[in-house]
A and B are shown apart, each in its own frame.
Chain A
Amino acid sequence: MAANNPSVFLLMVNGQIEEANFPEHDDLYCKYCFVYGHDWAPTSGLEEGISQISSKGRGSVQNIVWNFPLDITFKSTNPFGWPQIVVCVYGADTFGNDVVRGYGAVHIPLTPGRHKRTIPMFVPESTSRLQKFTSWLMGRRPEFTDPKVVAQGEGREVTRVRSQGFVTLSFNIVTKDMKKLGYDTSSTETLQPPSLVTEPTYTL
């Protein structure tokens, strides 16, 4: 066994796509996929998924609940290209066409433990008024041909977007052999009081 001298580290991701907050849309479903660098490879679990269609709660819960499981393990030799999860939310418009209601992406948390992330969701917008008019006329809205562009830093200066909702994800992270490879991901400082650590929720 190479347990004493590891050359790869493992990142185990458990979690769920909990819920979404889209004030203007209902009956939505989501897709997810992971984007990672060259040194990374998934060892087990599903890389892509598609959720059920969910409606807003009628009672006190005004959010769209998916409760959709994520379960994947990655291996890598280098933290560069750390995996990101890309979430795309779709719903039907008044004519029954599937249109995108939001794209969003976030890095998988680096540190072991339980984490919650609220990610903003946005859709691309037409840049010219003519395109805006024709897309309104045809009922076809702009989309990304490859949703993975939202996890890339290059070429974004040309995209115009409109942000219109949030998706909440929770993660449980376990890493293996990162310390043995010399990587230091968690602070040795004393933990902050829980009131400072909790994620602020965005208000609309």
Chain B
Amino acid sequence: MAELHIIGQIVGASGFPYGTLFCKWGVHTGGAWRLLCGLREGQTQVDSPQNGEMAFWSHPIDLHYTTKGLQGWPKLHLQVWNQDSFGRCQLVGYGYCHVPSSPGHHRLHCVTWKPLGSWQEQLAQTFVGGGPQLRTPDLIYSGADRYRLHTIAMGTVELELGVILRHFDRYGVET
């Protein structure tokens, strides 16, 4: 079976209108993929940057997959959260990116968005915070039901991923 190693970091996020940020992340794959080693989901530290507006997480990722098929190449999905001074957490962005299929080192910028809600909800949000969230978070990485949503652009999450492939060439797979 072919093997895939994903080794890297969720570096941090910039462009969000909030200072103190953390990120919940996970990896979604198709049925042919099996995780041998590593954590497939997690949550980063909460960073409030001293200078500058980029929050840094330096969250390590180290995953070892084997696969029998190419369908469902791993996707990384992210939820960026803000923690306010009272310790309350609110969602500030969803995003996903495909794990690169070519081996080597990759620097990725994952754009994010969040649901907008009705004008009443937006008004309430400006006073008390919070805001609408997805009931089914798999909408982050599937394109099936997106058309009913109205979303707003949020910041960018930066990732550095190294990809190592093994025995893909044995099956004639060109990457």
Contacts and interface: CB of A to CB of B under 8 A. Distances in A.
A is bound by B: yes
Contacts of B11: 120
Nearest to A186: B104
Contacts, number: 129
Most buried by B among A24, A109, A187: A187
B164 A153 contact: no
A161 B39 CA distance: 22
Interface in B23-65: 36-39, 42-52, 54-56, 58-62, 64
Interface residues of B, number: 45
B13 to A, nearest CB: 12
A110 B164 contact: yes
B61 A153 contact: yes
Interface string A26-56: 0000000000010000000000000000000
A109 B162 contact: yes
Given A80-B38, A185-B104, A162 B47 contact: yes
Given A107-B9, A183-B166, A187-B102, A152 B46 contact: no
A160 B5 contact: no
Given A110-B7, A111-B104, A186-B103, A154 B52 contact: no
Given A82-B162, A122-B56, A154-B39, 8 more contacts: A80-B38, A122-B45, A150-B58, A161-B47, A161-B48, A181-B166, A185-B104, A188-B102
Interface string A147-188: 000111110110111111000000000000000011111111
B50 A81 contact: no
Which 5 pairs from chain A and chain B are nearest by CB? A120-B56, A157-B43, A164-B50, A110-B162, A187-B104
A143 to B, nearest CB: 15
A176 B139 CA distance: 43
Interface in A113-172: 115, 119-120, 122, 125, 150-154, 156-157, 159-164
Interface residues of A, number: 46
A169 to B, nearest CB: 13
A154 B7 CA distance: 15
A164 B50 CA distance: 5
B58 A120 contact: yes
B145 interface: no
Interface string B116-136: 000000000000000000000
A23 interface: yes
Contacts of A182: 166-167, 170
Contacts of A204: 51-52
Nearest to B168: A184
A115 B11 CA distance: 17
Most buried by B among A81, A106, A164, A185: A185
Contact of B165 (A111, A160, A183): A183
A28 B169 CA distance: 49
A84 B169 CA distance: 28
A15 interface: no
B38 A110 contact: no
Nearest to B61: A153
A91 interface: no
A56 to B, nearest CB: 16
Nearest to A37: B62
A105 interface: yes
